[in-house]
Structure formats: C-alpha cells, structure tokens
Amino acid sequence: MEHGNYLFTSESVSEGHPDKVCDRISDAIVDAFLSQEPQARVAVETLATTNRIVLAGEVRGPESITPAVMEDVARRAVKDIGYDQDGFSWKDLEVEVLVHQQSADIAVGVDAAGNKDEGAGDQGIMFGFACNETDSLMPAPIHFAHSVLRSLAEARHSGAEPRLGPDAKSQVTLQYENGRPARTTSIVLSTQHDESLTQDEVRRIVRPHVVNCLPEGWMCPEAEFYVNPTGRFVIGGPDGDCGLTGRKIIVDTYGGAAPHGGGAFSGKDPSKVDRSAAYAARYLAKNVVAAGLAERCLLQLSYAIGVSRPLSVYIQTDGTAQVDTARLEKVLRELMDLSPRGIREHLNLNRPIYARTAAYGHFGRPTEADGGFSWERLDLVEDLKSAFNA
C-alpha cells in the first residue's frame, strides 16, 4: 500500500454471523480431536441454514470422537454463541454428520517416515503482516472493526444488552494522512435485535460501544454513522442467510490491508500449512516490527504438498526497513524452523486452542496462559535486535 493521503475500509463480523457460526463449529471439532490426540488430522467443513447443520470432511484420530460426539460439539457451539430462536436453536436443530476417514494418499505424502520429515498438508502460499498503527501491531481499520463487535458481544453475553442478537457486522473507514491513520470518516454497524426495538433505539444502544473503542475524538460525523441501514434486523444468523466455513478469510486476517494466500483456517488441524504457516508468518512479521527493524512487514511463505521445507520466503517492508531485507530473510530462517513440524513445535500448536480463534480475528489477540494465540508472542524481539545490533 502506498504511503500518502487516502481512505481505507475494513469490516468485521460477529460470532453469530452465519459464516462465523460455521467456523466456530468446525474449530470446536478440531479442538475435540486434538484434546484426545494431539497428532490427529482434521479437515471439517460446516454448512448452516434454517435449523440445520451439515458437517463434512475427513479426519484421522481417536474413535471416541463419534458422529454423536460431533453433533453434541456442534450444538454446544451454537448454544455458546447464543442461538435459541425460532428458525435456529441449539435445542432442536438437525445435525447431519458426513465426516469420513482421511485419504490414504494424503497420509502417505504428509506423514513422516524413515528419513523423510513430515511434509506440508497441501500446496499453497501464506502471508503474515504487522504494522505499527496500533498497539496490537495490526492495521487500524480491522483492529477497530473487531473491537466494536467484541464490545457488543460482551455486553450481550453479560446480560447488559439482552435485546441484541448474536448476528452483527461492522465496517470502519479511516482517513490516512502521510500514511498514518488520523480519524474515522464513516462507520457502518448492523446488529440483530429484538423486534421491540426501533432503529433509533438500536443506534442509542450501540453508539457508546463505538465511541469507547475509538481513540478520543475519532468518532465519525453523525451523518456518516450508519446503524442497521435497512431499518430492521430481527431475523439473523443461519435462519436469515446460509453460512459456510472459510468464507470470511479477510475478516480473519488483516481486513484487506495485506494480501491473503486464499486458504481458510477454521476446521483444519495445524498440520495444514494454510493455518500453521499463516500463523508463523504473522509471528515473524510481528516480531520484526516490534524489534523496530521495520514499520511494516509483509512475509510470504510457500509450500508443496508432502515437502517439509518452504519453497520460498519473501519479505516486503514498503521501504520502512532499517536493515537489509535479504539478510533479514536469512536471520528469520535461522531463528525458526519453518517446516510444518518446526512451526507446530515452536508455537506449540497441537493443542485444543482453536474454537476461540473463530471470531474477531486470528491476529492481534492477547496471548493466553494455556498457549492460545501463541503466534502473537514477541519472544524473538531480542534475538532480532541482537542479530542486527539494533
């Protein structure tokens, strides 16, 4: 992205958005398998529509995770999100489980054997990004778009705002001046609500959440604050629109401020480089920016199915690097083994830590005591500074 004066917009969707319901269910199933067998292989997709969920995919793991267990996992995920309404209720929705065993052909190519290290679960390109626009080292538009929806979700779950529903979307447009975010020019917020609320009442409920999530003085003009623009949002979630796993990959990452390799994360165990290598790329890019070696860092990795080493490592800093980028690529390879096994071991990814990632972004989140969001750690900063005498 060129530096200068421009507007940039990012969107977020809540945990109750139909696609996010599916991401949550798929990741909850990944967690169920990993909690029983850390080396389990899981690739599960979810479809959700009016009072119905369909699970499909392939797995290799403990026989204790039966179709009945997967159905229960799906219902509990829907309950936790908060859906108990006409047209989509955790209590009586139908769950169809069409999950089968992983292909033996994939297993042969991916598994370690003899002198062969474990290979990537698929070919693909993955990107990681970090910038110094926010304390989380995330682009500001997606950071604020997530923050608003998380604030509303917390109020709903706590009972402070019981008349709001689980389904919501936000969109934040920022004015950049000299390449830095300066203020908000417009905000769009749509949230499911009780049918007793008017559009003006919804606006009064959500406005403080928006103001509190923005820097002081950054609230957009009232004429550019769009709340439920259609005027009514009572029917929501999978009853209002079909949901699928993996359809919100830009929401999941950097809000469009950086490229995306195209592979979704949710529903995949960490042997799949779509997920683990994207986490590794974010981890490395974030540590580069935190170490002061660049103001912005985009890192691309590429893999071939069955091959352990990355085929390429590429870094772009938009001219903000304080060090030679070719040497930086070499140093990062030395600091972290970027094979699928190396990534999983370095970030300790073979754990049931994924359901929590399914909404409000996989990046820019605080690390957690049980290892959740381990890719947000800054434990390479001192090594990077030392390598460049920074």
Domains along the chain with CATH numbers: 6-13+140-235 (3.30.300.10), 124-132+273-387 (3.30.300.10)
Q: Does the annotation place 19 within a ligand binding site?
A: yes
Query: What are the C-alpha distances in Å from 27 to residues 6, 60, 71, 245, 264?
Result: 37, 15, 13, 10, 12
Distance CA 330, CA 383 (A): 13
232 is in an annotated binding site: yes
pLDDT for res 3: 63
Q: Model confidence over 39-88: pLDDT tens digits?
A: 999 999 999 999 999 999 999 999 999 999 999 999 999 999 999 999 99
Residue 294 near residue 162 (C-beta atoms within 8 A): no
* Residue partners of 9: CB distance under 8 A and separation at least 6: 141, 171, 172, 173, 174, 256
Beta carbons within 8 Å of 287's beta carbon, 6+ residues apart:
378, 379, 380, 381, 384
- Bridge partners (DSSP) listed for residue 100: 58
Q: Which residues contact 151 (CB under 8 A, 6 or more apart)?
A: 209, 212, 213
Cβ contacts of residue 210 below 8 Å, gap of 6+? 148, 187, 189, 219, 225
Average pLDDT over residues 154-176: 97
200 pLDDT exceeds 60?
Answer: yes
Amino acid symbol at 181: P
What is the per-residue pLDDT for 115?
Answer: 44
Say if strands 180-193 and 225-227 run parallel, antiparallel, or are unpaired: parallel
Summarised one tens digit per residue, pLDDT across range 120-164 is 877 899 999 999 999 999 999 999 999 999 999 999 999 999 999
Asked whether the beta carbons of 43 and 268 are under 8 A apart, the reply is yes
Is 116 known as a binding-site position?
Answer: no
Q: Coil, strand or helix: which one is 90?
A: coil
Q: Is 63 labelled as part of a ligand binding site?
A: no
pTM: 0.95
193 annotated ligand-binding residue: no
Q: Are 303 and 118 in contact (CB under 8 A)?
A: no
Flag whether pLDDT at 389 surpasses 50.
yes
Whether the pLDDT of residue 103 is over 90: the answer is: no
Q: Is 376 annotated as a binding residue?
A: no
Tokens for 82?
Answer: 């908060």
Burial of 2 (0-12, 13-18, 19+ CB in 10 A): exposed
> Rounded distance, CA 266 to CA 349, Å?
14
241 assigned to a ligand binding site: yes
Smallest CA-to-CA distance from 333 within 313, 304, 308 is with 313
Per-residue pLDDT, averaged over 217-237, amounts to: 95
Sole residue written with tokens 């139908």: 94
Q: Looking at residue 368, what DSSP letter applies?
A: -
- Interhelix angle 67-81/18-36, nearest 10 degrees: 130
Q: Where are the beta strands (DSSP E) in the chain?
A: 6-13, 41-49, 52-60, 84-85, 88-89, 94-101, 124-131, 164-177, 180-193, 225-227, 243-244, 296-303, 312-316
What residues contact 71, with CB distance under 8 A and at least 6 apart?
95, 97
Q: Do the annotations mark residue 248 as ligand-binding?
A: yes
Q: Which amino acid is at 369?
A: A
Alpha-carbon torsion, ordered 368, 310, 269, 59, to 10 deg: -170
Q: Distance of CA 214 to CAs 1, 207, 353, 359, Å?
A: 23, 11, 29, 20
Query: How are the residues of the chain apportioned to helix, strand and coil, as percentages rounded to the nearest 5?
Result: 35, 25, 40
Q: 45 a known binding residue?
A: yes
Which pLDDT score, from 0 to 100, does residue 91 have? 97
Q: Which amino acid is at 25?
A: I
> Which tokens sit at 267?
């529903």
Over residues 314-330, the pLDDT tens digits come to 999 999 999 999 999 99
Q: Is 385 annotated as ligand-binding?
A: no
Per-residue pLDDT band at 112 (split at 50, 70, 90): low
| Confidence band for 111, pLDDT divided at 50, 70 and 90 | low
